[in-house]
Amino acid sequence: MLYNLITLYSSKIAGLNVVKYITFRAGVGMLSALLISFLLSPWFIRKLKHKQIGQSIRDDGPKSHFSKAGTPTMGGGLILFAVLIPALLWMDWGAFNFWAIFVITCGYGAIGFFDDYLKISKKNSKGLSGKLKLLCQFSLALVIMILYHFYVDNLGTLHFPFLKNVKFDLGLYYIPFAVLVIVGSSNAVNLTDGLDGLAIGPVMTSAACFSILAYVTGHKYIAEYLNYPYIPGAGELSIFAACMVGAGLGFLWYNTYPAQVFMGDVGSLPLGGALGMLAVLTKHEILLTLIGGIFVLVAVSVIFQVASFKLTGKRIFRMAPIHHHFELKGWPEPKIIVRFWIISIILALLSLLSLKIR
Ligand code: 57M
């Protein structure tokens, strides 16, 4: 909004022209998100403690987690505030991309809020029923993708990373495909948020990746030079992704081991949904599996564990998701977390190679 207002006067007041540049708005967006989450977290954590919004720990989990009981949770509410306020200030409200990413983030944040609220108000770790959560997530993503279908041309084209000029047109089947990407990404981040800082690290590396990819995809000349699909307006998403990085950094200062606060479903569901939406809006749906490879690893470990137990009565891992398997193997929690971060950084760098290798 500030962007829209300033551009009205940028030709009259010297120096304001800089606001036109996406790189400038992404930079100030990231910094303002970082300052909001870093500076307001101590106050927010005190508020959560005062309202006794503390984590209840399942008794069937790793014993090492019992000491975490009562840790303030729903810190994701501040992450969302730290992302959405700078996004509102620095993004172009006239872009469909802005509303698509803004609505999915707010919508999934509301779903996560009610899930957390029910868990805390009823002092159990059940919350919203899984089916109701999924129904709400699928419905919201479907509405946005149907609207998106009327907004863009060749919506259904799938681009393959590292392969030059290899495309596949899904036609209208792209809509359910994109909905699956968004809902899957949201729940994969949710599953990953099971150790201190384990989810926010890969969320930041993924968002940083998408900030670069969105800028390139939305830049006509760079996209053409790199033989990349040019998507008008995609550059605005670079600002939102940069705000996610900034807000995540500020949150990680308090969520790092031993965590003073957990993000809650109010954080994990919208952050994952936003990553899925970024992948869809920048046409990097397939590359998301590499960028968010840690989330894929966690989700696949659960799928394999449940399938194996149902089919054979035996478990593949000592406990799923896979981070709990390493815990039960005796790895210290910080070691698991940092090693997952290292893998997510490597995956992000490999993903960025797709800009040149095609
Ligand atoms: C999301 N939530 C954490 C915190 C965080 C189908 C099955 C795989 C589902 C899965 C599940 O319940 N997932 C829910 C993961 C929980 O974290 C809260 O949830 C929010 C994120 N949604 O923000 O508020 C616990 O994670 C720990 N934690 C930290 N630091 C953090 O910064 O230590 C979280 C954030 C917190 C805290 O202990 O309480 C979670 O793990 O529930 N179930 C599981 O993940 C369980 N696995 C399991 O049952 N495996 C089975 C089958 C079903 C695959 C098996 O292996 O046979 C594990 N989780 C728990 N106990 N809590 C193991 C048992």
pLDDT in tens, 157-185: 899 999 887 889 999 999 999 999 999 99
Q: Pick from 198, 170, 173, 202: which is nearest to 185 by CA?
A: 202
Q: Separation of 147 CA from ligand 1 center, angstroms?
A: 34
Residue 17 is predicted with a pLDDT of: 79
Calculate mean pLDDT across residues 49-78. Answer: 93
Nearest CA to ligand 1 atom 20: 264
Q: Where in 67-194 does DSSP place strands (E)?
A: 157-159, 167-169
Residue 164 is predicted with a pLDDT of: 82
Calculate mean pLDDT across residues 101-112. Answer: 98
List pocket residues of ligand 1, CB cut-off 6 Å.
55, 57-58, 60-61, 65, 68, 73, 190-191, 193-196, 255, 259, 262-265, 268, 302, 305-306, 309, 315, 319-321, 324
Question: 125 pLDDT exceeds 70?
Answer: no
Contacts of 230 (CB under 8 A, 6+ apart): 217, 218, 219, 220, 223, 224
Across the chain, mean pLDDT equals 94
Q: How confident is the model at residue 155 (pLDDT cuts 50, 70, 90)?
A: confident
What residue spans define the domains of the chain?
Answer: 28-355
Q: Separation of 125 CA from ligand 1 center, angstroms?
A: 9
CA distance 313 to 1: 56
Q: How confident is the model at residue 58 (pLDDT cuts 50, 70, 90)?
A: confident
> How is residue 230 written in tokens?
């040019």
Q: How confident is the model at residue 124 (pLDDT cuts 50, 70, 90)?
A: low
CA distance 45 to 57: 19
Residue of higher predicted confidence among 356 and 290: 290
Helix axes 333-352, 200-217, angle to 10 degrees: 10
Ligand 1 atom showing the smallest separation from residue 309 Cα: 57
Ligand 1 atom showing the smallest separation from residue 319 Cα: 56
Residue 310 is predicted with a pLDDT of: 97
Nearest CA to ligand 1 atom 6: 302
Residue 218 is predicted with a pLDDT of: 96
Calculate mean pLDDT across residues 104-114. Answer: 98
Quote the pTM value.
0.96
